[in-house]
Amino acid sequence: MTRALIRTTLPLLAALLVAAPAAAQQGDPRLERLDAATRPVVAALIDSARTASLPTEPLLQRALEGATKGAAGDVIVAAVRRLAVDLGRAREALGSTASPAELGAGAAALRAGASQATLAELRHARREPLIVPLAVLADLVASGVPVDSAAAAVLSLAGRARDADLVEFRRAVERDIALGAPPAAATAAAATATAQSVDVNAGARPQRPGRP
């Protein structure tokens, strides 16, 4: 998967966060941008996703993206169907309480090569939203980091690092790779440095009154 494809995660998440619940209904006028043969098939996929309580706006956006790029109808249908499957797998791993944005990020991580087991471990390790950890995982793989190395690093940090720490971790990995470091080695080194920084910062934070 190319880096450009992974970077489409951000607009996808934005769409998930602001889209109205009924945006992808079959009567949505945006479907008119699809050809007559493709339109009912995509509408049926969107309706099936809605019935399964999956977010539908990203499916519509994927179809419209294909139409904008002039993709053939069967290619658009295949892309929408694939995303619907990935959203379903993400929910299986992240649980029924996962937000639409988390499901979108989870689908991108799965598409990058992460396993459902990794997503489930992230859910267990972190109480905060998983949007950033999942996006960082997908970005690392897009940068050439082996999936196992990327997953291990993100899992090691997710439970204690803030979103800003994870973003800086990703930047450090990408910077070191650009300077010639092997992707796996760059990831391990950056993960160690980030963990040390998080621990130091945690120790420097003032404790609440009454705590030893």
Average pLDDT for runs of 10 along the chain of length 212: 48 46 58 94 95 94 95 96 97 95 96 95 92 97 96 95 96 97 97 92 56 42
d(CA 197, CA 201): 6
Q: Is 169 exposed, middle or buried (0-12, 13-18, 19+ CB in 10 A)?
A: buried
Identify the pLDDT of residue 128: 87
208's tokens: 């609440």
Per-residue confidence (pLDDT) for residue 4, from 0 to 100: 47
The Cα 68–Cα 177 span in angstroms is 33
Angle between helix axes 38-51 and 73-94 (nearest 10 degrees) is 10
Q: What pTM was computed for the model?
A: 0.78
With H, G, I as helix, E, B as strand and everything else as coil, classify residue 160. coil
Phi-psi region of 71 (alpha: psi -120 to 50; beta: other; left: phi over 0): beta
- Please tell me the distance from the alpha carbon of residue 184 to that of residue 30, in angstroms, as a whole number: 43
